[in-house]
Amino acid sequence: MSERIETDVVVVGAGPVGMILAIDLAQRGVKVAVLELREAGEPPSVRCNHVAARSMEIFRRLGFVADVRNAGLPVDYPHDIAFRTTMTGPEIARVPIPSRGERYSATEGPDTGWPTPEPPHRINQLFMEPLIVKHAQATPGLTLYNRTRFDRFEQSDTGVEVHATSVDTGAGMVIGCRYLVGCDGGRSEVRRQIGATLSGDPVLQRVQSTFVRAPELIRLLTTAPAWGNLSLNARRSGTVYAIDGTETWLIHNYLRDDEAAFDAVDRDWAIRTILGVDEAFEYEVISKEDWFGRRLLADKFRDRRVFICGDAAHLWVPFAGYGMNAGIADAENLAWLLAAHLRGWAPASILDAHEAERHPITEQVSRFVMRHALSTARQRRAVPPEIEDDTPAGQAAREELGRETYALNVQQYACAGLNFGYFYAESPLIAYDGAPHEPYSMAEYTPSTVPGSRLPHLWVAGRSLYDLLGAWYTLLRFDPAVDVSAFETEARRQGLPCEILDLSAEHASSAYTTQLVIARPDRHVAWRGDLLPADCTGLVRMLRGVSVN
């Protein structure tokens, strides 16, 4: 007989997206069971190397951002991006990015001055994921089942029955829950079972990835170390990421259009050409994982009580960790919506907002990334043959390519626009007031309180505004003379959790153009105005998701 367990939510997949979703739910008082095929403590693959500022903000709210910030590369190791003819060859450009030791104090360069208490962090998933799992294991209400395979589900109007199997013993498990979320990656079984299909661009690039141990490599560099190292030459271009800052490296070999198969290029030759080393150089292959760069989006993120998040819902070229970071944003969005309903203050209709908000964003961001991927691929194909020559023509070619390379790539490595610029344009949980949203690019954005935008960050007497917000909704008031009692009364009557945060006008930036702003739990603006609306009942109903169709 199968063991039976009861919980509120089942999450399939204990990667960063699944774990953030589970931790957020549990901290909001929801019981969660997470199913994971890997053994406890089994390291992840060497994938994402970058945690975006928005993700670091989430880690801060969940209580473990310091653990992540203090891990990864050595404290003084530069997080720069260096562009050279080869890893050990002459440098043609560099995007300066502060080391973690200087992250909060550095003021020079394109990757400083972030409008947030938590700027981005360069850390490989190999180091980051165990820290998240450790935090999850210490979170009350969250249970992680390793070596457990998700098999299938059955759902009704009242709940979901999840069937799983212990990989080690073959014993069955049945989990009764209210909702199921598939965070089970690009080959998602949950996605398949809800009948969602992926569409878009199935192959944008092919990449041979090799994780190596090469202790001598850092001593062969002719310029300062960097976190990301791009080799640009006419023979073989690729990227080398510093993993531990001493001896381990992840090498991406970008195959050309006429190299359709991963084995079409000799891996060892490509690695040596990218590194700029001869046959005598020794390195150890730790693992290999070849992959396609894609731009694929699921046609739906939900079937009634079953959702998908992260790579299960969208796949694209993993520039600067956009895939994982978008998945973490999915998780935060779904967590507060699910918890609002399961805690009893919002109807099930509030859940309709998840797909209405996240689907357009993933479509939008994936196109940014796709265009950038195609641009960098064109640049790699157009590297002039004289780029490595020790001649005036070679020097001129390096200078010109350096300028072009910096201008193109500084956008993805100092991507404030992608972090802070996106907005929800058609959400049922936002009271739009007719003002247009501010446009944004990969690198640039304008802080705004137009409903649907990210709540602009402020420092309030040395403290981050985000640390002052409530766990659910927060009404920011910049003039204490504005009467908000009608809203408070109606919120209490309908059970809407909302705190009032009084701020002086001197704390406001130019982005705050009204006396009142309502911030959602995910720090998007839900409503703004100088006075309360005449219909506070309708406003509170909207915030609770009652008006969702």
Q: Decide if 190 contacts 35 (C-beta within 8 A).
A: no
- For position 549, what pLDDT does the model report? 46
Q: Helices 125-137 and 16-27 meet at what angle, rounded to 10? A: 30
Pick the CATH number of 3-72+122-198+301-348 from 2.160.10.10, 3.50.50.60, 3.20.20.70, 3.90.1150.10: 3.50.50.60
DSSP assignment letter at 388: G
Query: Any bridge partners for residue 524, and if so which?
Result: 454
- E-strand ranges in 439-524 read 459-460, 463-464, 473-477, 498-502, 516-519
- For position 318, what pLDDT does the model report? 61
Alpha helix ranges (H) inside 37-103: 53-62, 65-69
In which residue are the tokens 């766990």 written? 471
Amino acid at position 417, single letter: G
In which residue are the tokens 């070619």 written? 397
What's the first-to-final CA gap in the chain, in angstroms? Answer: 42
Pairwise CA distance, residues 29 & 150, whole Å: 24
What tokens appear for 477 in the block?
């008031």
CATH no. of 423-543: 3.40.30.120
Query: Any bridge partners for residue 292, and if so which?
Result: 206
Pairwise CA distance, residues 135 & 388, whole Å: 48
Query: Any bridge partners for residue 295, and if so which?
Result: 201, 316
At residue 226's C-alpha, the angle toward residues 222 and 228, to 5°, is: 120
Pairwise CA distance, residues 82 & 233, whole Å: 14
What is the domain partition of the chain in residue ranges?
3-72+122-198+301-348, 423-543
Pairwise CA distance, residues 169 & 198, whole Å: 34
Pairwise CA distance, residues 92 & 105, whole Å: 27
What tokens appear for 339 in the block?
């918890």
Q: Which long-range contacts (CB under 8 A, 24 or more apart) does 60-64 make?
A: 60/117, 60/118, 60/466, 60/467, 61/466, 62/20, 62/23, 62/24, 62/27, 62/135, 63/135, 64/131, 64/132, 64/135
Pairwise CA distance, residues 401 & 231, whole Å: 12
- For position 227, what pLDDT does the model report? 96
Q: Structure pTM?
A: 0.94
Pairwise CA distance, residues 401 & 407, whole Å: 10
DSSP assignment letter at 44: P
- For position 182, what pLDDT does the model report? 98
Q: pLDDT tens track of the chain, all 549 residues?
A: 578 999 999 999 999 999 999 999 999 999 999 999 999 888 888 878 899 999 999 999 999 999 999 999 999 999 999 999 999 999 999 999 999 999 999 998 889 988 999 999 999 999 999 999 999 999 999 999 999 999 999 999 999 999 999 999 999 999 999 999 999 998 999 999 999 999 876 666 788 899 999 999 999 999 999 999 999 998 989 999 999 999 999 999 988 877 878 888 899 999 999 999 999 999 999 999 887 766 788 999 999 999 999 999 998 766 555 688 999 999 999 999 999 999 999 999 999 999 999 998 877 776 676 676 667 767 777 788 898 899 999 999 999 988 988 888 888 888 888 889 999 999 999 999 999 999 988 888 999 999 999 999 999 989 999 999 999 999 999 999 999 999 999 999 999 999 999 998 777 778 899 999 999 999 999 999 999 999 999 999 999 999 644
